[in-house]
Chain A
Amino acid sequence: RKEVEQDPGPFNVPEGATVAFNCTYSNSASQSFFWYRQDCRKEPKLLMSVYSSGNEDGRFTAQLNRASQYISLLIRDSKLSDSATYLCVVNNYGQNFVFGPGTRLSVLP
């Protein structure tokens, strides 16, 4: 079993739709969690950290469920510019970060 798993997609949604991505991780001792965004042929960039209580940044909401070892990302009112691959990232210890395989999103006009 991979340490971090994601549905690879692609998710094809119309503009304005709400879309949710899920991520599961296998190490119960994982300490911190993130969502990164990667545009085609570009480098990954931090989208948001994920806090235990859940957190929101504009149209983006992240949730963490430690008991189920599950992280989610919700995007409301999708824009064309949201089209990208979304990477779930887990930090187990020190600066050792494990990236999930990513979920590809295409927002269609």
Chain B
Amino acid sequence: QVQLKESGPGLVKPSETLSLTCTVSGYSISSGYYWGWIRQPPGKGLEWIGSIYHTGSTYHNPSLKSRVTISVDTSRNQFSLNLSSMTAADTAVYYCARNTLGDGGVDPWGQGTLVTVSS
């Protein structure tokens, strides 16, 4: 059974960089699939942030421009998100998940972690 779990700070100050890690169990990241980050501001819809392939190729939401960095550590079976220049608009529940392109979907998802941006 594949499981994902997010870890990182629940509170970030404005202008700082958010760093989140997703630990995967039950499946080796290096075996394939894309691994991604999705967020959801309180009371709002879902926004895809970006994904990384097990080889290290990355894809991200153009709306977040150059603020997003996604990396993978296959030795620890983890992948990470860095989001720079945080503002209140970045307050959201952040999910990590496994995704495909084409046939397939986003599954499974982590439980999500709430990140609040406040001084």
**A interacts with B:** no
Give the interface of A toward B (CB within 8 A): none
Give the interface of B toward A (CB within 8 A): none
